[in-house]
Amino acid sequence: MIEEKQQIALPGEKLCVLEEFLSGKGTKVSADGVVFATVVGRVKFDRKKREVQVEAIKEPDNIAVGDVVLGEIKELQSKSAVIKIIGKNGRLLKHHRTAVLLTKLGSKESLGHHVSVGDIILAKVTSIISGLINVSIWEPGFGVLQAICDNCGATMTSVKKDKYNVYCPKCRKFDTRKMIIHRGSEKSLSNWLGLAT
């Protein structure tokens, strides 16, 4: 158990038992009545309330339904993709999160017609179920900001040629993406991506 004079606790660290202090902010109680820390923070024992709290040193980057997120496609299957969330609501996250993008409801088309591994997307968080973050690019204003060629890894450019809308100047491959015109200038997108010089 943690000493009352100790100031910092780590997640999972045992603080006390329920008979000594009740569980407050930043703590939880195990099935056997042990109070433990859920965040990295400063431990505070309140003798009047008989409560222990852990005040987070740094609040985590929480993701909520409705957030606009910036992500990178990490894995792709015909009906789903794994996304690494790198930013939300116009700022980069310190700790990346993982999300899932599903194909458009009722669509028989492969998700690969709209995104590819390496693409940078702008998406909206639609649900969070048991910690699983689901995002969508199917509303207007969401989709691929930067397309990456799945053949050679180069950045693709927008074109209009037959059924294709992106082109790789390096290997000369034409492809399709759900491209969007990003919000703000090229410089602000670069700042968001951390690419500004």
Residue 60 pLDDT exceeds 90: no
User: CA quadruple 68, 71, 73, 76: dihedral positive or negative?
Assistant: negative
Domains 8-56 and 68-193 fall in the same CATH topology: yes
Phi, psi for residue 16 in degrees, rounded to 5: -175, -170
pLDDT digits over 127-167, tens only? 999 889 999 999 998 999 999 999 999 999 989 888 999 99
Order of all β-strands in the sheet with 34-37: 14-17, 34-37, 27-29
Tell which CATH architecture fits domain 8-56. Beta Barrel (2.40)
Cα angle, residue 103 at apex, residues 139 and 110 outer, rounded to 5° = 125
Instruction: Please state the pTM of the whole predicted model.
Output: 0.65
Q: How far apart are CA 149 and CA 175, in angstroms?
A: 8
pLDDT digits over 116-127, tens only? 999 999 999 999
pLDDT digits over 173-184, tens only? 999 999 986 555
Task: Tell me which fold the domain 68-193 belongs to.
Answer: OB fold (Dihydrolipoamide Acetyltransferase, E2P) (2.40.50)
Q: Are 15 and 9 in contact (CB under 8 A)?
A: yes
Domain segments of the chain as ranges? 8-56, 68-193
